[in-house]
Structure 1
């Protein structure tokens, strides 16, 4: 640890606020760490959504002005911004990255010390099934630089040892770089504050409903159980399993003071609502608005049981959020 105290460390990319989480823990340990954001981070994965103390962390959050690989124009422009990439990484002794980080480090002629992927099988390595000619060309350009960067990376951190996750690393001959480490998903050292002063009215209504409910089963997973994204072989969330199991419990149990709390978002939201109606459990389901993680963490203090994804080898961020609250 002492040898790291004299190093400047960069965490590039912030999917699921994972690197914002890791940055705070590392800062708590006295390390000199900055979070480097892509110019097009998803709006609900920005640090403001994950802390009530944003001003405290602002000095350590930097905007790179670089694309995360999803925007084709911004990504192709990176080919002409090698000096900008080099200048962005120049102050740092150690770089850890997710997303398009390996490709960026390769373009900036900088070795990536650690790749912490958020996607199954690594980002930008899996070709979608339906693509037009332009999309195919764009995919292979990204993939070329991503593979170049991954091959020069010091280590790849993933706890998922399933074949579907490791197959791409095997194909590009980097299996020896795998280190079995989980993603740092949740920062649970936020101060206890009177959140009623800050929290939205819609979220306060959820809190009130939870307090009235003797037993609650809470799931803030997006509804994604019929749709299949082009690069996946099966649905990833499988919310229908939870809904059917809850309906079966309601049928068998004499305990009526229980409610299922679900969140209003996801491509299969309407399908979930139709399934709930068919199963006749509408009165025992409460629909919550979309919430930021800092709001969800307040909600979880009043939850009896939590339910994460049912479609993968391991839980995603929702499961770690439950565990961090002792649910």
Structure 2
């Protein structure tokens, strides 16, 4: 008993501010790695999806991708349904709507214009969000650098692209910005990937009727099913899980600027998967975007000096010292 009392009264050494900063920075860098992995995964998944458009169409691919992703995530997570508040369900429904709209509109866009320009236009949504939500001047600066890189990527004849495709890509960008905000909200309300699994279920229910009507029996083709499952893994399950985890650690403005890596990776995916050419101008734009993303991460994860607060015991001793 005496040992227990003494042990309970023995103060533990507090974690030093330097160690706390190092631990926080490692966590932030881990979140950055998740964002990069998600970006690579989703762009190559989009490249594979574009190959299936002749068989299943854009609407069919969206329905197949989201349905397979929902089944996988719900089976893995088995989210708890009881005890959820009305606000929790509204957040899930909003994220599900964002998933369905963002993917449907974007796939319609890349069915009309090349993957690189489509993502270049789409990323204007997250970049606008980063400027609106930024609280530091440095973040605004990096957002403008990223915007310059994206604009440079778009100089290669973007004015000659299919007008409906351009409009669809811009709408997808607005929905992408909504997805970032809603994903952060769901990530705060649900543990693990439970909220993501439920939101994907909502998105699947919204897109499946349109996909079946559009693609019909093509969705049952074994090749389409296998490749569609691969697209679901690359473009939904992995990136959405990574991004929701990262948004628990990164500011939305920093995360949004990192989304500007999308056009660079889309150009690379278009070159590798679809054989679309890549010139020196696009290479220069890629360097600008990478620089902006690195700068935004440095600015967004910078930790201010810790504020040291005296404990009640220390304050009492200080007062006694002054009185004496």
Query: What range is the shorter-chain TM-score in?
Result: under 0.3
Larger radius of gyration: 2
> RCO (CA 8 Å, sep 6+): is it higher in 1 or 2?
2
Which structure has greater strand proportion? 1
TM-score calculated relative to the size of structure 1: 0.22
Which structure has greater helix proportion? 2
TM-score calculated relative to the size of structure 2: 0.22
